[in-house]
A and B are shown apart, each in its own frame.
Chain A
């Protein structure tokens, strides 16, 4: 204990060089994994630019970002759940899948109403899960797995198991603005920036982080724990629904098969980005970076001529390396 009080950092005089260095050491100490992933992303990027022909083209970058947009949007929502200490929302893929159906079904009312209705349905789905988990204290993993079953089953009953082709024109969601910025990517960026800001700067976000850090202390401090957790689920499910809107528009149909493997991809992004699974640590931006990083590695492999199967293997390896590294870093920190 006495060793902790005598850390020499407090006495270091603030020169410019040390200021720069302390900026880096501070950020590494505050979030070792997130910083490492960002550094790894830069390395992979440079490697790709130098070594893989066809990687560093505008079109490829456009495609890369578009391919991770949906996962990135959902990961922003998932990050809220993880930061709040509730691990993962395992009904996100189901919500996204059913949202493609809701979107396709309501498209005849017009594009904007369809988006609004789909996201609204998503928030209701999130609200119900949030009430059970945040309000009653039920286990978040079990509740969201069960919710996934209910959501998919209800979607199946509603659609009769058929693919639904929307009666309307969603093509503006697939547009590429100024020939360079796909609408999906725009939505991805907007959602991430908005939610990142909310989590870092709003009182709600502060409470999410405090609750994730220590729920007991949060309750003893009189924070509105239940309400905050419930709102977290509402936002997360809304993100999944938004991803469903874009997915439905892209595929031109509503289909429950869309969005399979979605949960794992989203969780991978959150973990690889450096959001800590026990809660309280990491940011929404970290999760977005994680999504882009995984997408970039996959993209490199494909452009480099490797198979989809190998890509899947590598994705799993990255997740395991990331969580192992996090565990090792945490252990070293504990020893210090």
Chain B
């Protein structure tokens, strides 16, 4: 597939609607991405032709659906270059993946006085589960800080490691700042000390080519709905050695080997962590999304999104009073900003009325927003179906906000 934005846009039916009599400009991709017809059709085709329960049953539909399901697992393995399909667990999304690791790894490995490292730029889903498991286990949560441009303060991060550190959990790409963290370098440092690394890849997979073998991270979590797939499906990649050791997170059907009144033994990986009937439609949709991204090419996507980002920064920085949050080199395609002292809610309300979907507030990252001492930011997050013209409209809208409230 060649990279032609108007062809791409025609794959996304939702983009052709009008909002308040203006064409919809969708700049809230960090919250969720829109779905191409290929994904939508995969889901409706599944229910029209292939629906049944999988991994059990000997009938034709069951075998066919099971094969498609497991084929998707192989495709995800390939998409992130994981060593084995035993290491690909389907979950409800990144939040569930993160909760799974915090609860299960925590249960097995955290003792009173142990330490968990995270960062101040985390989404609540990679902060609160660690906070809670630390409280439960009497462990200590240490939080690395950031530099003024939104880069992780590596010196500070490395200084937090100690004899008691058991795991470090951090984001690949910040959903507020757009900062892309140097995962490979951090993993090398942590592994030198024998400490595993969990990466929250919710914002990573849609913007970058992710290679978990190259990164050598121990866990990588992401959601289908942030990479043009459906909601309610996500992936946990975990190195086999960790997943083998970790106890099940949820139990019930599917994840068992033998069940009796006295005792139950558990299924092998990855099924040990997939209790109950899976979200098969979600997996079918995710499969179509992965294929769509492969056809476009992650490198091509990155290059185009970079152009959008540069244009946005250039247009917005020409506006008097603009304050950007997150200007790290090599950042992903989103901008968080404030317009002088104008409250983000006020700005967002007006920008909305101009047909532009942006997000305002703390973006599920309260510690980060508090760190800046602001009520929130206005965030515009771009995808490969956005255009330069749309960014120009955003700049107009921001100018309008300035005129009204300035």
A and B associate: no
A-to-B contact residues, CB < 8 Å: none
